[in-house]
C-alpha cells in the first residue's frame, strides 16, 4: 500500500487481510518520500488497525532515504519492518543491531525481501543469520518483479523458470523456522491467473501471498487458509490421538489410515491457524 496514497491508507481499516505493508520504497516517487513519511506518522496517530499486522517497507539504508525511513520505524513501532533487496546474510543482523540500539521492543520484527540474484543465491545463509541471537527476522518475502528484471526471465503463466528459485526460498525458511510469503501477481484483473498462482504458491509451501488490490484478498484467504475439509481431517487426527488406547503410541490406525505423531503436530498447527483466522473476522 503506497504510503503516499491517503485514500488507500484509510481503506486499510476495512480490508479483510492479515497484514498491511505500508510502502515507502518503489511505489513512492523520490520527491514524495518526505510526504509519505508524514502520512504514515499521521495515520499511526489515528485509530489503530484491528486484527491486522502493520509492516513498513523502507528504502535501502544505502539510499538517501533509508536513514529517515528507519527513524520513522523507530518512532512508530509497527509490528515489522520490511527490508528491500536483501542480498547478504549480514544485512539482517545490521538492522537488528540498529533497532536494538534504539531500544525498539523485541516484538518489532524484520521481514526481508528476496528479489535479486544474489539474494536467491544467499537465501540459505540469510535465513540462517535470522536465527542468530538478537536477530528479529521471521519472514522472507519474494519479490519477482525485480528478480525478473535482473535475470531477464519472462513473466509467463506457471512461473516455470522461476519455480527452482521459489523453492529455494521455501526450503531455506523451513530449515530455519521462518515463514515465506509469495510474490505479487501484477494483473489484478486476471482473476483466473491469480487463482492458479495462489494454488501453486500454497502447494509449494508458502505461508501467504503479497497482494496489490482488494479484489485479491478473498481468493488469497481461500487458498492459504485451511479449508473446511482440512480442518475436519485435522480435528479427526487430534481426536484419534486423544483416545486412551493411543496413549504412548507413535503410530496409530485411524479409519484404515496409518498416522504418526508428526501428523498430530501438523493437525494441531492447522487448527490453531484456523482459530486465529476466525478470531480476526469481524464480529
pLDDT at 264 over 90: no
Alpha helical stretches, state H, 111-242? 117-121, 123-129, 144-151, 163-175, 191-204, 217-224, 228-242
Average pLDDT over residues 79-86: 96
- Bigger pLDDT: 281 vs 150: 150
pLDDT for residue 165: 97
Task: Return the C-alpha torsion angle 156, 158, 164, 165, nearest 10.
Answer: 60
Side by side, the strands of the sheet bearing 179-182 are: 19-23, 53-57, 80-83, 109-114, 137-142, 179-182, 208-209
> Is 87 marked within a binding site?
no
pLDDT band per the 50, 70, 90 thresholds, residue 249: confident
pLDDT for residue 253: 84
DSSP type of residue 216:
G
> Is 146 marked within a binding site?
yes
pLDDT for residue 114: 98
> Is 101 marked within a binding site?
no
Complete domains list, the chain, with CATH: 6-224 (3.20.20.60), 228-280 (no CATH)
pLDDT for residue 281: 65
| Nearest to 206, CA basis, from 184, 239, 188, 191 | 184
If you average pLDDT over every residue of the chain, what do you get? 92
pLDDT for residue 161: 97
Angle between helix axes 191-204 and 163-175 (nearest 10 degrees) is: 40
Q: What cell does 205 get?
A: 509451501
pLDDT for residue 61: 92
pLDDT band per the 50, 70, 90 thresholds, residue 266: confident
pTM of the full predicted structure? 0.87
Amino acid at each position: 500500500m503506497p504510503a503516499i496514497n491517503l485514500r488507500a491508507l484509510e481503506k486499510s481499516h476495512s480490508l479483510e487481510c492479515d497484514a498491511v505493508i505500508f510502502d515507502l520504497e518503489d511505489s513512492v516517487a523520490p520527491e514524495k518520500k518526505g510526504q509519505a513519511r508524514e502520512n504514515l506518522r499521521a495515520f499511526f496517530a489515528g485509530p489503530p488497525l484491528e486484527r491486522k499486522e502493520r509492516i513498513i517497507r523502507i528504502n535501502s539504508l544505502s539510499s538517501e532515504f533509508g536513514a529517515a525511513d528507519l527513524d520513522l520505524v523507530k518512532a512508530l513501532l509497527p509490528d515489522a519492518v520490511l527490508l528491500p533487496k536483501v542480498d547478504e546474510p549480514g544485512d539482517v543482523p545490521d538492522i537488528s543491531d540498529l533497532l536494538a540500539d534504539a531500544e525498539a521492543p523485541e516484538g518489532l520484527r524484520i521481514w526481508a525481501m528476496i528479489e535479486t540474484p544474489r539474494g536467491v543465491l544467499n537465501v540459505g545463509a540469510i535465513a540462517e543469520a535470522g536465527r542468530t541471537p538478537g536477530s528479529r527476522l521471521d519472514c522472507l518475502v519474494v519479490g519477482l518483479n525485480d528478480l525478473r528484471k535482473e535475470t531477464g526471465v519472462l513473466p509467463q503463466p506457471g512461473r516455470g523458470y522461476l519455480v527452482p528459485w521459489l523453492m529455494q526460498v521455501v526450503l531455506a525458511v523451513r530449515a530455519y523456522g521462518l515463514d515465506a510469503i509469495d510474490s505479487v501477481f501484477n494483473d489484478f484483473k486476471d482473476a483466473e491467473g491469480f487463482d492458479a498462482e495462489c494454488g501453486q504458491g500454497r502447494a509449494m509451501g508458502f505461508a501467504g501471498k503479497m497482494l496489490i488490490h482488494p479484489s485479491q484478498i478473498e481468493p488469497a484467504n481461500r487458498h492459504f487458509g485451511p479449508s473446511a475439509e482440512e480442518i475436519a481431517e485435522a480435528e479427526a487426527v487430534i481426536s484419534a490421538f486423544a483416545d486412551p488406547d493411543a496413549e504412548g503410541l507413535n503410530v496409530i490406525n485411524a479409519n484404515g489410515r496409518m498416522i504418526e505423531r508428526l501428523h498430530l503436530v501438523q493437525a494441531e498447527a492447522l487448527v490453531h491457524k484456523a482459530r486465529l483466522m476466525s478470531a480476526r473476522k469481524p464480529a
